[in-house]
Chains A and B, each alone.
Chain A
Amino acid sequence: NAGVMQNPRHLVRRRGQEARLRCSPMKGHSHVYWYRQLPEEGLKFMVYLQKENIIDESGMPKERFSAEFPKEGPSILRIQQVVRGDSAAYFCASSRRMRQDNTEAFFGQGTRLTVV
């Protein structure tokens, strides 16, 4: 059972370009969460999605950032017109449909975005 798959692992973008980060959840998981980790800091929640639905986007910056989780295919975190301050590690996690006793979210390897 493959874990949460993120790609690319490393992404370099020039200021003003777009960054697209992909996340394929674990098999059987239909909930996806995106987190951002700035250097030397903890993870900060960005957005929580289910298939074709954004459940909670309270952690997303108001501009330039968007996320989707289509019926088919991976979840995508999209950052338009990147700036240096977007440089961070972006982690995706997935969990089962229902929050059950032993359900937990499992994390992918992360995408490290560098804006030059």
Chain B
Amino acid sequence: ELKVEQNPLFLSMQEGKNYTIYCNYSTTSDRLYWYRQDPGKSLESLFVLLSNGAVKQEGRLMASLDTKARLSTLHITAAVHDLSATYFCAVDKGETSGSRLTFGEGTQLTVNP
């Protein structure tokens, strides 16, 4: 059974600081997603990582994927308050399961002024 683990689960940081959220998964997969969720809202797609060594950046967020280590990271640079949200990574099980996703528990990020 595919397991996806994120850490930390809770992260409180000061504006302007850098930090990294980690996502480990238990079985081979070549597709990993990062989502953002604001309270009471749906999931906003941030990144789709499709291959080993993939790196994508959008604003203050950068995501990377190491399929050999089964690890993805979401790096936050110079955090601002607007980044406060819960961040989920999710792994696609593969061809036969369509786009069925297994999610991590989420990292609740709070950026303090």
Contact = CB atoms under 8 A, between A and B. Distances in A.
Nearest to A95: B99
A48 B50 contact: no
Contact of B99 (A31, A91, A112): A31
Interface string A25-54: 000000101010000011111001000000
Contact of B33 (A31, A99, A104): A104
A110 B98 contact: no
Contacts of B106: 41-42
A42 B104 contact: yes
B49 to A, nearest CB: 11
Interface string B17-52: 000000000000000010100001111010010100
A56 interface: yes
A105 B105 contact: no
Given A102-B50, A104-B33, A45 B102 contact: yes
Question: Which bracket fits the contact residues of A?
Answer: 20 to 34
A101 interface: yes
Given A42-B88, A91-B42, A105 B101 contact: yes
A33 B99 contact: yes
A66 interface: no
B95 interface: yes
The dominant DSSP class at the A interface is: strand
Nearest to B31: A104
Contact of B105 (A41, A99, A108): A41
Interface in A79-116: 91, 93, 95, 99, 101-110, 112
B103 A33 contact: no
Contacts of B103: 35, 42-44
Contact of A99 (B35, B40, B98): B98
Contact of B50 (A41, A43, A95, A101): A101
